[in-house]
Amino acid sequence: MATAQFGIFAVGTSAHCYLEFDAKTGASAEELVRAIAGLEEPHSTVGGANIVVGVRPSIWAEVCGDCPPDVADFDVPVVGPDGFTMPATQHDAWLWISGSANDLVFDQATAIIDALAPHASLASEITGWSYRHSRDLTGFEDGTENPSLDEAAGIVATPPGQAGAGSSVLLVQQWRHDASWRALSVDDQEKVIGRTKLDSVEFADDVKPADSHVARTVIDDDGVELDIFRRNVPYGTVTDHGTLFVGFSREQSRLARMLDKMAGIGDGIRDALTRYTTPLTGAYYVIPSIEALSEFSPPADAD
């Protein structure tokens, strides 16, 4: 049975580093994947740090072919009817290192950058951290729509018997927060989000604004909600900060539909939170199953 990478579900970690890489000129897709697979195993905890690795969908399809259904690169921006744009900044590989302390994550991230240097160039580095346990920098509880850990594997991993079994699709976006958010009253902030700030109670449907963040990020089919699994974290400094959206799903369509709905594509109703946050990046990655990635690992007795 194919198994999703364990680090996806390692909730409670407070220190995070997110690295994106581009293959160097002359490096083949297979060489890049083999280099990634040759890192410390992503299905174990190494030196107190968890590692999750992802590969550009088109690259994984080229070297493996065993992708979750209908997965594509994020190579076209999402543009709403009013011109609001979510940029496409696709890279070739993504690695997430998380742990209980910054020094553990720093050392592991440094080792990964050094190990991949012959094959890939570092394109992006973001450091994340926890804020008031589980809140984002708007002050609201984050991840309240998440399924329980008991249910998460079924949300994240492609089911057995399907292409890409055990693999997941990741959407990662960096959202910078606008200082104008802090000028809003708590009441106005709650209307933007669609739930209360103090105790995170979602507004009833008959009072929840149609453009609230909650209303625009819930996806359903015939009234049945289609969950995703979020591992968002705050990033940045006091004067330049925001949220790194890290969302996993067994189906890319759930993630793509959420972005379209946030941008107002289809009905013209744009997510109110996008008026106080700015998307800076956007990429999709296949998070291969442990078994699929291990097919590219060097032999155990290799020097």
Residue 162: domain span: 6-294
Alpha carbons within 13 angstroms on the beta-carbon side of residue 291 total 10
* Domain-located, residue 303: no
Find the distance separating the first CA and the last CA of the chain, reported in whole Å: 29
Q: What is the pLDDT of residue 65?
A: 83
* Domain-located, residue 1: no
* Domain-located, residue 289: yes
Which pair of structure tokens corresponds to residue 40?
Answer: 């410390």
Average pLDDT over the chain, rounded to an integer: 94
Which pair of structure tokens corresponds to residue 235?
Answer: 């990033």
- Encode pLDDT of 118-147 as tens digits: 999 999 999 999 999 889 999 999 988 899
In this model, does residue 45 exceed pLDDT 70?
Answer: no
Whether the CB-CB separation of 172 and 227 falls below 8 Å is answered with no
Q: Which residues are known to be catalytic? A: 142
In this model, does residue 204 exceed pLDDT 60?
Answer: yes
CA distance 258 to 199: 25
Whether the CB-CB separation of 170 and 247 falls below 8 Å is answered with yes
What is the SS3 assignment for 125?
strand
* Domain-located, residue 300: no
* Domain-located, residue 181: yes
Mean local confidence (pLDDT), 178-194? 98
What is the number of domains present in the chain? 1
* Domain-located, residue 299: no
* Domain-located, residue 301: no
Residue 102 sits in a domain whose CATH number is 3.30.70.3420
Mean local confidence (pLDDT), 229-239? 96
Which has the closest alpha carbon to 175: 118, 110, 123, 246?
A: 246
* Domain-located, residue 103: yes
In this model, does residue 69 exceed pLDDT 90?
Answer: no
In this model, does residue 223 exceed pLDDT 90?
Answer: no
Cβ burial, residue 265 (10 Å; 0-12/13-18/19+): middle
Q: Which residue has the higher pLDDT, 128 or 69?
A: 128
